[in-house]
Amino acid sequence: MYAVIKTGGRQYRVEQGQVLEVNRLAEGADDSLTPILLVDGGTVLATPDQLSKASVGFKVLEDTRGKKINGFTYKNKSNQRKRWGHRQALSKIEITSIKAS
Protein backbone atom coordinates (compact mmCIF):
# COMPACT_ATOMS: atom_id res chain seq x y z
CA MET A 1 0.00 0.00 0.00
CA TYR A 2 1.27 3.46 -0.85
CA ALA A 3 -0.07 6.97 -1.04
CA VAL A 4 0.78 10.24 -2.71
CA ILE A 5 0.73 13.22 -0.35
CA LYS A 6 1.14 16.93 -0.97
CA THR A 7 2.99 19.19 1.45
CA GLY A 8 4.96 22.36 0.92
CA GLY A 9 3.91 22.59 -2.73
CA ARG A 10 5.49 19.24 -3.59
CA GLN A 11 4.09 15.75 -3.99
CA TYR A 12 5.70 12.64 -2.45
CA ARG A 13 5.03 8.93 -2.94
CA VAL A 14 5.15 7.41 0.56
CA GLU A 15 4.89 4.01 2.18
CA GLN A 16 4.60 3.06 5.82
CA GLY A 17 7.93 3.30 7.67
CA GLN A 18 9.50 5.62 5.09
CA VAL A 19 11.58 8.58 6.28
CA LEU A 20 11.71 11.71 4.13
CA GLU A 21 12.63 15.39 4.28
CA VAL A 22 9.90 17.93 3.51
CA ASN A 23 9.68 21.71 3.83
CA ARG A 24 9.55 22.75 7.49
CA LEU A 25 6.21 21.95 9.09
CA ALA A 26 4.69 24.44 11.51
CA GLU A 27 5.22 23.75 15.19
CA GLY A 28 2.31 21.74 16.55
CA ALA A 29 1.20 20.63 13.08
CA ASP A 30 -1.31 17.79 13.30
CA ASP A 31 0.11 14.36 12.70
CA SER A 32 -1.95 13.44 9.65
CA LEU A 33 -2.10 14.49 6.02
CA THR A 34 -4.85 13.93 3.49
CA PRO A 35 -3.54 11.92 0.53
CA ILE A 36 -4.27 12.90 -3.06
CA LEU A 37 -3.94 9.28 -4.27
CA LEU A 38 -4.03 5.97 -2.42
CA VAL A 39 -3.18 2.59 -3.95
CA ASP A 40 -3.83 -0.71 -2.14
CA GLY A 41 -3.00 -3.62 -4.42
CA GLY A 42 -5.44 -3.32 -7.33
CA THR A 43 -7.64 -0.74 -5.60
CA VAL A 44 -6.98 2.90 -6.45
CA LEU A 45 -8.66 5.72 -4.54
CA ALA A 46 -8.36 9.06 -6.31
CA THR A 47 -11.58 11.08 -6.07
CA PRO A 48 -12.23 13.54 -3.21
CA ASP A 49 -15.24 11.48 -2.08
CA GLN A 50 -13.14 8.32 -1.76
CA LEU A 51 -10.26 10.14 -0.04
CA SER A 52 -12.35 12.13 2.45
CA LYS A 53 -11.86 9.47 5.16
CA ALA A 54 -8.32 8.44 4.18
CA SER A 55 -5.32 9.70 6.11
CA VAL A 56 -1.56 9.37 6.26
CA GLY A 57 -0.09 9.54 9.77
CA PHE A 58 3.42 10.82 10.40
CA LYS A 59 5.71 11.91 13.19
CA VAL A 60 8.35 14.62 13.04
CA LEU A 61 11.78 13.21 13.86
CA GLU A 62 13.81 16.42 13.69
CA ASP A 63 14.03 19.86 12.16
CA THR A 64 17.07 20.34 9.95
CA ARG A 65 18.41 22.66 7.29
CA GLY A 66 19.25 21.76 3.72
CA LYS A 67 22.44 22.09 1.75
CA LYS A 68 23.76 25.65 1.36
CA ILE A 69 23.15 27.30 -1.99
CA ASN A 70 25.66 30.05 -2.84
CA GLY A 71 24.84 32.70 -5.37
CA PHE A 72 26.81 35.51 -6.93
CA THR A 73 25.64 38.24 -9.28
CA TYR A 74 27.60 41.05 -10.84
CA LYS A 75 27.30 43.67 -13.51
CA ASN A 76 30.11 44.11 -15.91
CA LYS A 77 32.16 47.36 -15.85
CA SER A 78 30.23 48.98 -12.99
CA ASN A 79 31.82 47.32 -9.92
CA GLN A 80 28.40 46.02 -8.84
CA ARG A 81 28.67 42.66 -7.05
CA LYS A 82 26.39 40.77 -4.70
CA ARG A 83 26.94 37.47 -2.90
CA TRP A 84 24.06 35.62 -1.28
CA GLY A 85 23.34 32.26 0.29
CA HIS A 86 20.33 30.19 1.29
CA ARG A 87 19.65 27.11 3.39
CA GLN A 88 16.13 25.68 3.19
CA ALA A 89 14.41 24.84 6.49
CA LEU A 90 13.40 21.16 6.44
CA SER A 91 11.61 18.68 8.68
CA LYS A 92 12.54 15.00 8.70
CA ILE A 93 9.34 12.95 9.07
CA GLU A 94 8.55 9.24 9.34
CA ILE A 95 5.33 7.85 7.87
CA THR A 96 3.69 5.84 10.66
CA SER A 97 0.40 4.76 9.08
CA ILE A 98 -1.68 4.84 5.93
CA LYS A 99 -5.42 4.37 6.44
CA ALA A 100 -7.99 4.05 3.67
CA SER A 101 -11.08 4.58 5.84
pLDDT in tens, the chain (101 residues): 999 999 989 999 999 999 999 999 987 777 888 899 999 988 999 999 999 999 999 999 999 999 999 999 999 999 999 999 999 999 999 999 999 88
Task: Determine contact, residues 88/68, Cβ cutoff 8 Å.
Answer: no
Q: What is the spatial distance between Cα 86 and Cα 53, in angstroms, rounded to a whole number?
A: 38
pTM recorded for the entire structure: 0.82
Pick from 91, 69, 73: which is nearest to 82 by CA? Answer: 73
